[in-house]
Amino acid sequence: MAAPPLIILAGPTAVGKTNTALLLARAINAEIINADSVQVYKGLDIGSAKPAEQELALVRHYLLNVCEAHESMDAGIFVKLAGEAIDAITARGKNVLVVGGTGLYIKALLFGLAAVPAINPALRDELRLKLEQQGLASLRDMLAELDPEGAVRIRFNDKQRTMRALEVVLQTGHPLAYFYQSQVKKALYPYLLWGLELPRGELKERIAVRSRQMWQNGLLAEVEGLMAGGLDPKAPALSSLGYRQALAVALGQMNNDEALAQMINRTQAYAKRQVTWFKKMDGIKWVNPEKWEDMVEPSRDFLQTQSRKTIK
């Protein structure tokens, strides 16, 4: 069976993806797959700007709340779950609308990931402990020995990529580059990519307003509740924007004002990184959310053309 066509709606945080997605989905008979790396977690609702009940009732959503807050989501799991959701939506006779701001997830879905086996969690914990106790330099030494090419390619201070390279070579005996080689780089689905955009100043203002709202709506209480439920403060989910700052307040390391100010700053910087990422994606078409109707006809045309191809 041929891969079904995907309509993708990307864009920076707070640009208005949720609302625009609902309008577009209804206009093109689509259901929505979430491609946001924080909305996948259960219990992280306020700070992740998860769609509200009423919104979820309008269009069926997939990949929200698919993992526990103490678990660790990753691009590989995302691709697998998204693939299942695409099949389910197609089987229901609906079109697929992928919506989100996580560039890596969208890229991984469209172009696939290198075939690296899943890493044993115990190994990962061991490396994290080593980083904590012996410092990054000791991990770099290990990497230089086991994967010299990777040690050159990965920036010296990049602890996250250093650990990734290490866990792969330790478990599989092959450096990451070995897996990259065998990867076929072409789109796995036909796709139409929309990017939502607003003028920088306007987007920043929306981020500030929304962050204050999240704080007022109980972001701190949400985090305290998660901790009361036994969530480890080191859980990856809590390192995300807003949650990290609320956690610092809960632990008495920061006051409310500092936390909110930092949340706003970091979120604005994040929005910029998102735009940097999406700008270089092939074929992206930028649209102001107010002009969402401009997306409807081209999207329908695209879906129709693709379905004709499939029939032939």
The CA distance from 10 to 98, in Å, is: 8
Contact region with RNA (CB under 7 A), list: 1-9, 191-199, 219-227, 274-282 = 274-282
By three-state DSSP, how is residue 189 classified? coil
Contact region with RNA (CB under 7 A), list: 88-96, 187-195, 218-226, 241-249 = 241-249
Q: Contacting RNA (CB under 7 A), which of 3, 56, 75, 187?
A: 75
What is the full DSSP assignment across 50-86? PPPHHHHHHS-EESSS-B-TTS---HHHHHHHHHHHH
Q: Contacting RNA (CB under 7 A), which of 31, 36, 147, 222?
A: 36
Number of other CB atoms surrounding residue 144 within 10 Å? 12
Closer residue to RNA (CB): 279 or 309: 279
Residues 47 and 112: beta-carbon distance below 8 Å: no
The CA distance from 41 to 18, in Å, is: 17
One-letter amino acid for residue 117 of the chain: P
Number of other CB atoms surrounding residue 32 within 10 Å? 29
Closer residue to RNA (CB): 90 or 240: 240
306 binds RNA (CB under 7 A): no
Q: Contacting RNA (CB under 7 A), which of 239, 253, 304, 310?
A: 239
Closest separation between CB of residue 91 and RNA, Å? 25
Closer residue to RNA (CB): 20 or 48: 48
By three-state DSSP, how is residue 198 classified? coil
The residues binding RNA (CB under 7 A) are 13, 36-39, 47-49, 72-77, 101-105, 108, 113-116, 118-119, 128, 155-161, 163-164, 176, 179-180, 183, 185, 200, 236, 239-242, 244, 265-266, 268-270, 272-277, 279-280
